[in-house]
Chain A
Amino acid sequence: MKPFGRLAYTTARRIGTCKRNVTTSRHFSVESNVQTNIESGTLYEMDLTVAKQLNMKTHLPSQLAKQMDTLGEIVTLVREPTAEVASCMRVVDKHLPNLRLVLWGAFGTGKTVTLNQAVHHAYKNNWAIVNLRSAMELTRRVKEIEMSSFVAGRINDPSNAVAILQNFKQQNQHVWKTLTDLLTEKDYEWSKSERTLKEKPITEIVEMGISAPFLASDCVGAIFRELRRHAKNDKLKVLVAIDDANSLWGKTLVKRADRTYAPPSDLTLVVHFRRMIANDWTNGCVLMVADKKEVADARDELEVSRHTPLELFGEEGFEFIEPFVPIETSNYTESEADTIYNYYVSKNWLASKSGKHSFLPQYILNLPIFLARSEEGRKQLMYLSAFNPYYYERLCAFN
């Protein structure tokens, strides 16, 4: 780890460990424009209107999105990694190069949820948010391609670029006013007829990209460039949250003219996101998720791939993102499982309850029945899911 990174790392560690006071409130307190202290072990409720603005329905794992639809609220558990991310976001300032955090951990332990909690935290603190649902969409789910007119050999991806810009616009409505006050550095000549002049609001770039898909990929690069510049000048703080970030160094399904697969470094959007990760700018935080789905073959049940950052990012990617703060997500502890259990009981979500039903035949009633609400059920839920948050939720879903 390079010295500068170590400084940032130790600062983050120190801040992370000294903020451990006891809170009694069920939901985390809401104060606008203040970096609120996030306590691990508490439940974290997001406002539904805010969740809609932050596009949580598509960004959260599908099971949680379904849960949000059913229960009519988003309540997630604040765990150690979230508290760590929040305390790291605290130390971000204009003199330190951007802080790079990598969330890693086994399947279902809450990497994506932590990322989304961090996005919500950034929203609370009025940061600008650059959020990518999955970097794999840029490399594997490319519907249409166009050759770049800006750099020879680069491949543009209009549909994904427009989606990124639209998402950016939607998620940053809380700072849109600030963004319109920020001005462009230079003239951007998109094509012969379209251009954005110097000293214009940078939001014009976003609007330009959304209205003209064939320019969108270049607009993404320009808006990122302007954001970095303004962050360096301390006009605003930026959170870059990329899910499955290791896919930026993975394999692609984009074919070039000679029918070979293009490397990710040829994709314009991938290049733009890599520039956002590079730490040549200050006053920002880059939150990445190292996810196994890039390398793991879902049909291969014999080989179990590692989920550590080095294995997932590969030599090249790892070298690029170094120095970074690794944050491991892990399985529930018993008290965390209990918190979720009690929440589900209070919402009446664990439905199976004791009591005999008269319409059932006698031979069914004679069977021993343990139920989810009982002490036995509480214990079994923990051990059957092996304390894994994903499987815990799955078990609670039908009981």
Chain B
Amino acid sequence: MNNFSVKMTTKLARIAQKRWISSTTSTSNMYDPRVFREPITDVQELRKPLDVDDERNFLFVKAMKSDATPVFYRDHVIDKLIRVCTKDGEKETSRRNVHSALEIIKRRQYKAWVKASDEEKKNIELDPFVVAKKGIKNCHPLMKLQGVTRGGTTYQVPFPIEEPEAEFRAMKMMRDICRVRSKHGETHFKDILATELLAASQNEGSTISAKQELHKTCEANRAYAHYRA
């Protein structure tokens, strides 16, 4: 019996492999961990000579990730936003969208800045990266809801989350809202994303209200908190 089940799982695994269905985390990838090491992406680091006993002196180095190139506008949050907004693996399109949204933010802020008096100018942030990061930061939820099945019923149980996950959920909420709005060519994704980011940086907009809605539901479902296991 035991032998049979092992046989079945190996067979299933083979089918899964053939059909590109992955049910588990991959144990190996194209880079054999015995001969490949991580690349150096920091420019300052790159200029220094390698340490004598560094393994990279005689082993292969993995290719650099496309969003790890050391350009001056490299930004953790924006790169993550690009990844989150990617659809069907079209990262180039997504990058163009997000960067266009940044451009729109900058143009709006610049126009306001030109009109403003010297006193008001100090309060207007021209850097679109800062505006976008502030917007995303304001959308971070404090909790998440996760379905937990107990006795045949699924309860939406609030769970606490770490900073990176909060960031991801903030981006995902914003992305979903923008996608719905830009459906059927109502508006362009970049336009609505720029509007949302600007509004979120002022603590306004649909994403902020979605976050507040989530907080309310978490509050309502606090009785289920003991289902966390």
Interface residues of A (CB under 8 A from B): 66, 70-72, 348-349, 351-353, 357, 359-361, 363-364, 367-372, 374, 376-377, 380-381, 384, 397-399
Contact = CB atoms under 8 A, between A and B. Distances in A.
Contact of B71 (A357, A380, A398): A380
Given A364-B76, A364-B77, A372-B72, 14 more contacts: A70-B110, A70-B111, A72-B114, A348-B110, A349-B110, A351-B127, A360-B133, A360-B137, A367-B74, A369-B72, A369-B74, A398-B106, A398-B128, A399-B73
Nearest to B114: A72
12 contacts: A66-B107, A348-B126, A351-B126, A351-B128, A359-B134, A360-B133, A361-B137, A363-B76, A369-B72, A369-B74, A369-B75, A398-B102
Most buried by A among B100, B106, B109: B106
A377 B72 contact: yes
Nearest to A349: B110
Nearest to B42: A368
Interface in B158-214: 163
Contact of A361 (B44, B106, B163): B163
B99 interface: yes
B130 interface: yes
Nearest to B104: A398
Interface in B84-99: 99
Question: How many residues of B sit at the interface, in one of the four size bands?
Answer: 20 to 34
A368 B137 contact: no
Interface in B105-134: 106-107, 109-111, 113-114, 126-130, 133-134
A338 B114 CA distance: 24
Nearest to B128: A398
A398 B126 CA distance: 10
A369 B76 CA distance: 10
A381 to B, nearest CB: 8
A72 to B, nearest CB: 7
Interface string B18-59: 000000000000000000000000111000000000000000
A368 B44 contact: yes
Nearest to B41: A368
A360 B99 CA distance: 20
B129 A352 contact: yes
A381 B71 CA distance: 9
A372 B102 CA distance: 15
Interface in B140-173: 163
Contacts of B77: 364
B103 to A, nearest CB: 4
B110 A359 contact: no
Nearest to A384: B71
Contacts of B127: 351-353
B72 A374 contact: yes
A397 B103 contact: yes
A384 B71 CA distance: 8
Nearest to A372: B72
Contacts of A351: 106, 109-110, 126-128
Contacts of B134: 357, 359
